[in-house]
Amino acid sequence: GAGVSQSPRYKVAKRGQDVALRCDPISGHVSLFWYQQALGQGPEFLTYFQNEAQLDKSGLPSDRFFAERPEGSVSTLKIQRTQQEDSAVYLCASGDRNLLAKNIQYFGAGTRLSVL
Amino acid sequence: GNSVTQMEGPVTLSEEAFLTINCTYTATGYPSLFWYVQYPGEGLQLLLKATKADDKGSNKGFEATYRKETTSFHLEKGSVQVSDSAVYFCALPTGGGNKLTFGTGTQLKVEL
């Protein structure tokens, strides 16, 4: 696709429900990132994939958060037993291996999660 | 680790006014520096970047110069438009370059 696609755009969950957020990166991009953006704040890193390998998950706030990218393309961020503090916009970004584009990340529009 | 500090907003300007949004950084070495922009209801878009000291990034009339002496990367535009209203984020890579650390964002409102 032309850009990073995320779905759903909006998700309302009751406290305790499990949710799954999808990210479809730019075709051919090796790197994939998930960020959490609280209201009025900058994005905070959650996890990073290179192809199907999850190389860094240091930003995941608890073991209720789980991410996967089994075929090195589409990724899913899963949150189990959602809590109100999980309410945020979840952003996905992808990046090229091209050294000229080093560190440049292309972002999707995000999924706004509201936990009631 | 690497970090950035941005001036707080909101910043409200009249159309055609001069814009400066301050950003200072703390980093090991000399990483690339970025400005991202987030328009209402949209994801972040890369606005401009600089990869080494004294580099000037520019795009859409915005400019920022990578200054190692003052560890700054201030965003400037000579004449803002209503369409520039958005939230602007300063960012730099951390953790070996495999993630970005963002400032808290500065909201810009441009009025007629």
Structure confidence by residue, pLDDT tens digits, A79-110: 999 999 999 999 999 998 765 566 789 999 99
Q: Establish whether the linkage from the previous residue to A43 is cis, with ω within 30° of 0.
A: no
Given this model, what pLDDT does residue B1 score? 82
Given this model, what pLDDT does residue B37 score? 97
| Residue A33, C-beta contacts closer than 8 angstroms, at least 6 positions apart | A45, A46, A47, A48, A49, A92, A93, A94, A95, A105, B99, B100
Contact flag B104-A41 (C-beta cutoff 8 Å): yes
Residues of B in contact with A102 (CB under 8 A): 32, 51, 97
Given this model, what pLDDT does residue A2 score? 79
> From the candidates A105, A111, A112, which should be mutated to test the interface with B, based on the most B CB atoms within 10 A?
A105
Structure confidence by residue, pLDDT tens digits, B20-73: 999 999 998 888 999 999 998 888 999 999 999 999 999 999 999 999 999 999
Given this model, what pLDDT does residue B94 score? 87
> From the candidates A102, A107, A111, which should be mutated to test the interface with B, based on the most B CB atoms within 10 A?
A107
Give me the residue from A4, A48, A109 closest to B99, CB to CB: A48
Structure confidence by residue, pLDDT tens digits, A19-31: 999 999 999 899 9
Quote the minimal CA–CA distance from B70 to chain A in Å. 23
Closest CA to A67 of A45, A84, A85, A37: A45
Given this model, what pLDDT does residue B96 score? 74
Indicate the pLDDT class of residue A1, thresholds 50, 70 and 90: low
Amino acid at A69: R
Mean pLDDT of chain A, nearest integer = 93
Indicate the pLDDT class of residue A35, thresholds 50, 70 and 90: very high
